[in-house]
Chains A and B, each alone.
Chain A
Amino acid sequence: MAKVKLAESKINKIKEICANFGNLPGEAINVLHKVQGEFGYLPAEVQEVVAHELNVSVAHIYGIVTFYSFFTMLPKGEHPISVCTGTACYVRGAEKVLDEFKRELKIAVGETTADGKFSISCLRCVGACGLAPVVLIGEKVYGRVTPDGVKDILNEYRNA
């Protein structure tokens, strides 16, 4: 990954978040939640600042970021698509829905479209199993999605 230099203001924002948690190593996960909320993702440069502030190794922070699926080192699309692949959705055909999204957007899971509009990821159970299969776009929940309906859902965002 190309080295991106962080702007001074961004570094200060990270320092501020760390300070709010008392710069305690034990708060690393809470800090990373907040920082990701601010930046959308956790690139290496951001992790370096966090490690420095909490006085732990960069490897320790990198270890946490890569351990938990909630944290990501890659930026997501403007409209992140999350297809639930929990058991309830799986037995009601989530895989076919996922295939259709991949075919429509021509990207794989974990990737972002060239225009930066969409990214696809899988998640395990949002707990709306009554609506299976479920797809989330941003915060919006789509229930009982069929492969045929995928195009219509995408069109809501394509022209927006």
Chain B
Amino acid sequence: MAKFKMHLLICGGTGCNASQSQEIAQNLKNGLKDKGLENEVQVILTGCFGFCEKGPIVKVMPDNTFYTEVKPEDAREIIEEHVVKGRKVTRLLYVDPENKQQVADSKHMGFYKKQLRIALRNCGFIDPENIEEYISEDGYSALAKCLGEMKPEEVVKEIKLSGLRGRGGGGFPTGLKWEIAAGNHADQKYVVCNADEGDPGAFMDRSILEGDPHSVIEAMAINGYAIGATKGLVYIRAEYPLAIKRLLTALEQARTFGLLGKDIFGSGFDFDIELRYGAGAFVCGEETALIHSMEGMRGEPTFKPPFPAQEGYNKKPTNVNNVETYANIPIIINKGAEWFNKIGTEKSKGTKVFALAGQINNVGLIEVPMGITLREIIYEIGGGIKDGRQFKAVQTGGPSGGCLTSAHLDTPIDYDNLIAVGSMMGSGGMVVMDETSCMVAIAKFYLEFTVEESCGKCSPCRIGNKRLYEILEKITKGNGTMEDLDNLANLSRVIKDTALCGLGQTSPNPVLSTIENFYDEYVEHIKDKKCRAGVCKSLMQYVVDPVACVGCTACARNCPVNAIQGEKKMPHVISTELCIKCGACIEKCKFGAISIQ
């Protein structure tokens, strides 16, 4: 890499890929060739930078210039101005929404200032399809250290000391999991990487596999050495074609370099990895269901014990860890458990990657130290709520988690604190909502998901969640009673106590947490037949303000069912009987004269 004096990094993650980042990279390469600079400046298609809101991103190194929302036709200007003349293309620089100032160096962007990138350390910095770039960032040195200098039990001890906990949701101590698997003897053991990221709104595992696949491969090999397994399997969603492609490329390169296969580093340790494809079932994120799916069956969970560490894939001891958990392993081995242990809170060490989405200015992928507050995440990293609206709630943990309110903005985030306030860490989805979101409808949205994804094996989950959904449907239609509200809470508790697996046991969380934190909103739906967010159609009425209406007829012309009447230049009236509440009139009215009541 040393021969290049400048690097142009372009995000090649799924989001930016969809906004033509491949074309940008090609145009930059062509432009460099035209100027005869192809041997001095290198174009690298990297993994996700995290700042998806303003993608596609082009970053110029070494000066950290961060160009946002770049279009393929901007490539010429970047080369002629920045590369050749050394002048930044100011119109493409990020503008700080607070002070309206352009930020030239990404280190000074609010989005990155509070982040600490450990699991994402290489995402957006290296070319994920080139193993040499990973190696130049100390890649595979942790594996070398384990095989050359450490006994398997020392590796387990190091991970235990680090305090790392499972990043897939449950937060089980990783070192302890390894220790149990190591202690079970068998002729064959397996390590499995859970890349079945099913939580809608979470995409950290995909980004790691797309941006830094070698870190996961290296970690799995370390895991194999530590517990005495020679075979690794990655269970990955078929919906992630780019991640699959990059992972397959990385596996091939690792084999070529002798980092997978027989007798790695001459240590006598054999290890190789195969892929297994998911086929779209949320429940397969649960480890027993995942194992059954890998065995070619329906992904139905089974009772624990036996735990996978005792009897897993093909009835052999199996250790299952999540992608993000694995991405932490090599750096812990390299820098030591003590270094990792200093980051985070007392019981939750290290960092967590969150997928920040919803009604927030900076949608994207962030990595923050445990113990950071929601306020810092939403207002400093996330840049606040979209269009200057009011913050209402944040949903963490996906369909298994709960909604938190402004009362929780200053709670330090870690595994235990989130559970204490009725939510959970989950895989790290964080969906921010403003006053345009109805909390009853949100609970219904998650229940609809759970009902669809329930495997049907145990009745609390199969039948109970369906009943929860029906009660919520009744309330959003304006037919709910206060008794329904009690039934919701009671049934939720029964499901939590009696369902077979993690999916069922956590599925009522969105209901319970919204009842707890937004009780008034439920009561409004039931007693006043009102939805303050204007989401529940059955409870809405569209009304024209006769003072603000100038009679331009735009609404009447756009109404699909001719429900709006009125003379030109006279106030219009909406017929509540005919109105289908589609909202087309509100969008067309330039005078803000139509409101939902």
Contacts and interface: CB of A to CB of B under 8 A. Distances in A.
Interface string B195-221: 001111111001100000000000000
B299 A68 contact: yes
Interface residues of A, number: 39
A70 B200 contact: no
Nearest to A85: B200
A131 B19 contact: yes
B363 A130 contact: yes
A126 B239 contact: yes
From B55, B201, B277, residue with most partner A Cβ within 10 Å:
B201
A127 B323 CA distance: 15
Nearest to A140: B18
Contacts of B158: none
Contacts of A29: 276-277, 279, 293, 296
A38 to B, nearest CB: 15
B357 interface: yes
A65 to B, nearest CB: 9
B583 interface: yes
A71 B206 CA distance: 21
Given A87-B395, A129-B52, A130-B52, A33 B19 contact: no
Nearest to B456: A67
Interface in B376-422: 395, 398
Nearest to A37: B238
A26 B52 contact: no
A67 B299 contact: yes
Contacts of B293: 29
Interface residues of B, number: 51
A91 B358 contact: yes
A92 B359 CA distance: 7
Contact of A125 (B200, B207, B277, B298): B200
A68 B280 contact: yes
A68 B197 CA distance: 15
A90 B358 CA distance: 8
Given A88-B358, A88-B431, A125-B201, A33 B18 contact: no
B296 A124 contact: no
B429 interface: yes
B437 A69 contact: no
Contacts of A35: none
From B293, B296, B437, residue with most partner A Cβ within 10 Å:
B296
A119 B19 CA distance: 24
Contact of A64 (B198, B298, B364): B298
Interface in B58-105: none
B547 interface: no
B355 interface: yes
Contact of B18 (A24, A30, A124, A131): A131
B253 to A, nearest CB: 23
A96 B583 contact: yes
From A63, A64, A148, residue with most partner B Cβ within 10 Å:
A64
A16 interface: no
Interface string B270-303: 0000001111111000000000010111110000
Contacts of B364: 130
A87 B298 contact: no
B277 A87 contact: no
A96 B583 CA distance: 9
From A129, A143, A148, residue with most partner B Cβ within 10 Å:
A129
Contacts of A18: none
A25 B433 CA distance: 46
Contact of A128 (B15, B298, B395, B429): B15
B14 interface: yes
Interface of A: 24-30, 32-33, 63-64, 67-71, 85-88, 90-92, 96, 99, 123-132, 134, 141, 143, 148
Listed from nearest, the 3 A-B pairs whose CB atoms lie closest are A130-B52, A86-B200, A127-B203
Interface of B: 14-15, 17-19, 52-53, 55, 197-203, 206-207, 238-240, 276-282, 293, 295-299, 355, 357-359, 363-364, 395, 398, 429, 431, 433, 437, 445, 449, 455, 582-583, 587
Given A64-B296, A148-B587, 7 more contacts: A30-B277, A68-B279, A86-B200, A87-B200, A87-B357, A124-B198, A143-B19
13 contacts: A29-B296, A67-B299, A68-B279, A68-B281, A70-B279, A71-B279, A87-B200, A88-B201, A124-B200, A128-B52, A129-B201, A130-B53, A143-B18
